[in-house]
Amino acid sequence: EDQVTQSPEALRLQEGESSSLNCSYTVSGLRGLFWYRQDPGKGPEFLFTLYSAGEEKEKERLKATLTKKESFLHITAPKPEDSATYLCAVFAGNTPLVFGKGTRLSVIA
């Protein structure tokens, strides 16, 4: 069974304090790994798609990387507006996306 585990469950950072969120997965035949940001009571907002090990994508203060077993979302010099829950999901072909439970990030000014 495909599984996605995100860690930590919650992370509290000072503004400007860089860190990384982890998404480890067990899936047969990964076709794509997705990162989303979700604000409370809102729909998940698409951030990145990664297709193969070694791939990296960047957007503003966020950078996503992928290995054969896990993905990292690096947050550089975060700001309070980066506070949200970050979700990871994997796609393995004919099965629907499998989501992790997310990392709840709080950035304190």
Footprint of other proteins on this chain (CB under 8 A)? 31-32, 34, 36, 41-46, 49, 87, 91, 93-102
Q: How far is the CB of 98 from other proteins (least distance, A)?
A: 8
* Helix or strand holding residue 12 (H, E): strand 10-14
Nearer to other proteins, 15 or 60 (CB): 60
CB of 17 to other proteins, least distance (A): 26
Q: Please compute, for residue 8, the number of CA atoms within 13 A of its CA located in the half-sphere on the CB side.
A: 8
Q: Is residue 37 within 8 Å of 29, Cβ to Cβ?
A: no
- CA separation (Å) from 22 to 85, 93, 94? 13, 23, 25
| Nearest residue (CB) to other proteins, 96 versus 109 | 96
Tokens of 43: 């729909």
Cβ distance to other proteins smaller for residue 15 or 58: 58
- The smaller minimum CB distance to other proteins, of residues 44 and 78, is found at 44
Q: Considering the complex, what minimum distance in angstroms separates the CB of residue 89 from other proteins?
A: 8
7 Cβ contact list (under 8 Å, min separation 6)? 21, 22, 24, 103
Least Å distance, CB 93 to other proteins, is 8
